[in-house]
Structure 1
């Protein structure tokens, strides 16, 4: 399993994906699940995934091959982010149709993936899409500024309580890190390192991003401070009224 999330804010976008994959407790590997596309000064896109690793990698490879071969239509030439989301969906349907054919021949199950595509094209507003295994998609809005894939339930309460469309980008980035910290503490199928990227809206730059490893000092610091703050707050909360004990 995996956990990835992306946030679209008034002044920026934040993307994060873990890198753990496992096929049982004795077979754990690290694979990248966040990829960047774009042309400096013209467009910036990030594609993230959760689900079947084989399906996801096939989609990533096909999209990259289309760019490398300068196909007439690829992520570096689509007119809008929505067109890009449609392209990812179509690519996924093609890959999954082939996988389904093989699965049926081998009497195996189906292998599905979901994707998040976010970014900005020059002259357009930043956008974020969630793309379902069926190939259709939905767009993030002011009321719903973030999407999650995979093991989302452990980190979702932190984002729900702290992130809105007009939240400061730095504060939202901290909340997203803590969302991953909470998930890693509660689920062994999600683990370090974390691929993390922040984009400033309208900059049209291609940020390098950061791979947060288990010994990252900043991540460990805010994790400790968050845990300490929770313990202090718990102690400072009003005691349960007497009638709760009756």
Structure 2
């Protein structure tokens, strides 16, 4: 399993992914799930993948072959719009699934791969597309400014609460990393190291690219700060009525008064 999230805000795009591909008791493996195709000043793409690794590898290989070929009907360099690029990658994914299926000697293997393609082509706004195994795609929107693939349920709540189109790139990046951290705490099949890439609007290149492990100082500090502040906020949540120090149900009532004794009180 995997978890990848891409966020689109006014200032640009944020991409984060884990690298774990298996998490058996004695078999933990990693694989790069974030792939950058960068042509500074002209266009930049980030492709993230979840699903069958053979299908993903076939798609990446064909993308690189088309980019290197002198004459091809379509490539990431020839795409006039981000939507065209997404459709192109979707067609490669469908063809790859067919090819892997024909070569496989085993039946019942899930060959599907879901992809996120994001980036910017000069003259257009940055864009994000989720590409389904069937080859069709959907774009992010102001109402849904982020896209997730893989094990997405654990990291979704923080995105819903924090991310909107006016969120800064840095806050979006922190939110994406917290989303990944929440997922890793609940699912062992998602794990470090984590990859983070940022594209600023009209920058036409990767502005920041990081690989973060559990002992990377920034990520370790982020994890510790998030856990500590969540615990602090939780302890300050409103109390139930019966937890109050003094409430109508906990008034101190005087049962009887004797001249030579202090009042006897009963809590009800």
User: TM over 0.5, yes or no?
Assistant: yes
What does residue 160 of structure 1 align with? 160
What does residue 181 of structure 1 align with? 181
| 1:44 corresponds to 2:47 | no
**CA, structure 1 residues 191+23, in 2 after alignment: closer, same or farther (shift >3 Å)?**
closer
CA contact (8 A) 1:47 1:116 kept: yes
Unaligned ranges ≥5, structure 1:
none
Tell me the CA shift for residue 98 of structure 1.
1.8
What does residue 20 of structure 1 align with? 20
Unaligned ranges ≥5, structure 2:
244-268
**CA, structure 1 residues 211+71, in 2 after alignment: closer, same or farther (shift >3 Å)?**
farther
| 1:119 corresponds to 2:119 | yes
After TM superposition, where is structure 1 displaced by more than 6 Å over at least 4 residues in a row?
A: none
Tell me the CA shift for residue 77 of structure 1.
1.8
Tell me the CA shift for residue 112 of structure 1.
0.7
> Mean Cα displacement is larger for which, 201-210 or 222-231?
201-210
C-alpha distance after superposition, 1:142-190 (max 9, x if no partner): 1110000001111111111000111111111111111111111111101
What does residue 76 of structure 2 align with? 75
The CA RMSD over aligned residues, in Å, is 1.6
TM-score (norm 2): 0.86
**Whole-angstrom CA distance in 2 between matches of 1:238 and 1:131:** 43
**Whole-angstrom CA distance in 1 between matches of 2:193 and 2:219:** 11
CA contact (8 A) 1:59 1:95 kept: yes
CA contact (8 A) 1:142 1:164 kept: yes
What does residue 242 of structure 2 align with? 242
What does residue 139 of structure 2 align with? 139
**Whole-angstrom CA distance in 1 between matches of 2:163 and 2:23:** 33
Matched residue count: 242
What does residue 11 of structure 2 align with? 11
**CA, structure 1 residues 144+71, in 2 after alignment: closer, same or farther (shift >3 Å)?**
farther
**Whole-angstrom CA distance in 2 between matches of 1:157 and 1:53:** 28
**Whole-angstrom CA distance in 1 between matches of 2:107 and 2:123:** 49
**Whole-angstrom CA distance in 2 between matches of 1:137 and 1:31:** 24
Instruction: Compare CA radii of gyration and give the structure with the larger one.
Output: 2
**CA, structure 1 residues 78+210, in 2 after alignment: closer, same or farther (shift >3 Å)?**
same
